[in-house]
Amino acid sequence: MNKPKAKGTKFESEIVKYLQAHGHVARRIALAGAEDCGDVYAEIRGTSYVIECKAYKTITPQLEQSARSQAVKESDNYQTHTGDYPCLPLAVMKQHGKAIGRSIVHEPEMHRGDAIMWRMYYLDEFIKKID
């Protein structure tokens, strides 16, 4: 496994452990080739989520937009392949050197036509909000 892939796998596993430690169902999603279905599946208070996990040295607005777009696409793929509707997208981004609880969660808040408005939280704040 190459170094970037290993780092990504490690972060995905950390997210799963973090969610499980807070009493939520979470598991890594197997790679699905061209129609990727996200990195992590979670059930949180009766809501299903597909989570796209990204770890970067520096997080830029362009990387945030890319992660959000990828989360939406992969959530749609997951729903198509599994029939699990609705399954909401989340993008979780971690900056190198920061604690897992300081990862940034991008949660869709509102749809306006084709546009999605996103709300951002630190992971530890997101968990408090939903618990």
Longest dimension (CA), the chain: 41
* 112: pLDDT strictly greater than 70: no
* CB proximity list for 71: less than 8 A, separation 6 or greater: 38, 50, 51, 52, 89, 90, 91, 106
pTM of the entire structure? Answer: 0.91
Q: Which CATH number goes with the domain that contains 119?
A: 3.40.1350.10
Asked if 39 and 28 touch (Cβ cutoff 8 Å), the reply is: yes
Domain count, the chain: 1
Q: Please give the residue range of the domain that contains residue 91.
A: 3-130
Please tell me whether residue 66 adopts helix, strand or coil conformation.
helix
Nearest residue to 85 via CA among 123, 49, 111: 49
* 113: pLDDT strictly greater than 70: no
- For 43-97, the pLDDT digits (tens) are 998 899 999 999 999 999 999 999 999 999 999 999 998 988 888 999 999 999 9
Report the distance separating Cα 34 and Cα 95, nearest Å.
27
What is the structure's pLDDT at 32? 66
